[in-house]
Amino acid sequence: MAFIELSGVYKGYGNSKERTHVLENVDLSIERGELVSIVGYSGAGKTTLVSLLAGLIFPDKGTVKVDGKVVTGPSAERGVVFQNYSLLPWLSVLENVQLAVDQVFPKLTEAERRARSMKFVEMVNLGPAAAKRPKELSGGMRQRVSVARALAMEPEVLLLDEPFGALDALTRGVLQGELQRISQESGKTMLLITNDVDEGILLSDRIIPLGAGPRASLGPATVVDIPRPRDRKELNHDPRFREIRLGVLEYLLESGKQKRAEREAAAPKSSGASPQAEAVQVAEVSP
């Protein structure tokens, strides 16, 4: 049995005729210790998928299980890192991390909780900034605090919802390297949500495209059988990288075309999505 398992999951929002069907017949299996990336268009339902696994929302149909148990709500066993940092501005780096540790490990002594918190602050290379407050940090440093806080809770699963999406290219590259290292050192099961195909290939054991919405479903998984550690510059010259990238992009582009055709067939008199709008969607999944 897979460690994470979604079976026949459907999810929508709204009532009756106004209901938007976001996900349809989603099946997903992730083994313990795997890092799997879901890549797709913005608005296709990637965050909905993360929210289902986090226990923040529930499927209309189907089951969501982690370690053989149905997900019935949020749990410290499933840490989440969102694109926004969600840090308390009046607390230091160390205090923001310890806030989570205090909630999850109340039986530890104050000294033990502080030591645990500092361990993960140092894991993301923020030891020298432990006493600083969020306003004194760069965007990349704030995101590191979010990752450290999630890891300090010792979750069984780390869910990353486009954690680097708001960062500049250079900072993003640095944090991708950090995530590679943390993944290898911690052995955590991770699900990364991204609209950057290259990022998904760089970091993952497997990459899975999520087709265009509405009624989005997962495409075929591809094993990223490229030796680690991986360097983004070197990957550009790797024929296997180019093969995987092309396969994922072709699936996403074809999915987008099919959804556009369905919309035009359902409403032939409406303007539908313009070629320009389609180009914008393609750009969102093409670095």
pLDDT tens digits, one per residue of 155-199:
889 999 988 877 778 778 888 888 888 888 888 899 999 989 999
Residue 65 lies in a domain: yes
Of 40-44, 147-151, 169-173, the poorest mean pLDDT is in 169-173
Residue 283 has pLDDT above 70, yes or no: no
Query: Does 176 fall in a domain?
Result: yes
Domain count, the chain: 1
The SS3 call for residue 250 is helix
Among 151, 207, 211, 208, CA closest to 181: 151
Residue 117 domain flag: no
Residue 266 in any domain: the answer is yes
Q: Which domain holds residue 187?
A: 4-77+155-284
CB of 241 closer than 8 Å to CB of 222? no
Residue 225 lies in a domain: yes
pLDDT at 65 over 90: yes
Task: Give the predicted TM-score (pTM) of the model.
Answer: 0.84
pLDDT of residue 268: 64
Within a domain: residue 194?
yes
CB 173 within 8 A of CB 198: no
Residue 210: which of 29, 83, 43, 54 has the closest Cα? 43
CB 36, CB 30: distance < 8 Å: yes
User: For position 174, which CATH number holds?
Assistant: 3.40.50.300
Q: Helix crossing, 93-104 with 110-123: angle to 10°? A: 120
Distances in Å between the Cα of 22 and the Cα atoms of 6, 65, 97 are 15, 20, 34
Per the domain annotation, does 106 fall within a domain?
no
C-alpha torsion 148→154→156→158, nearest 10: -10
Q: Tell me, what's the pLDDT at 209? A: 95
Q: What is the pLDDT of residues 114-123, one digit of tens each?
A: 999 999 898 8
Residue at 122 is within a domain: no
User: Measured between alpha carbons, how far is 105 from 12 in angstroms, rounded to an integer?
Assistant: 36
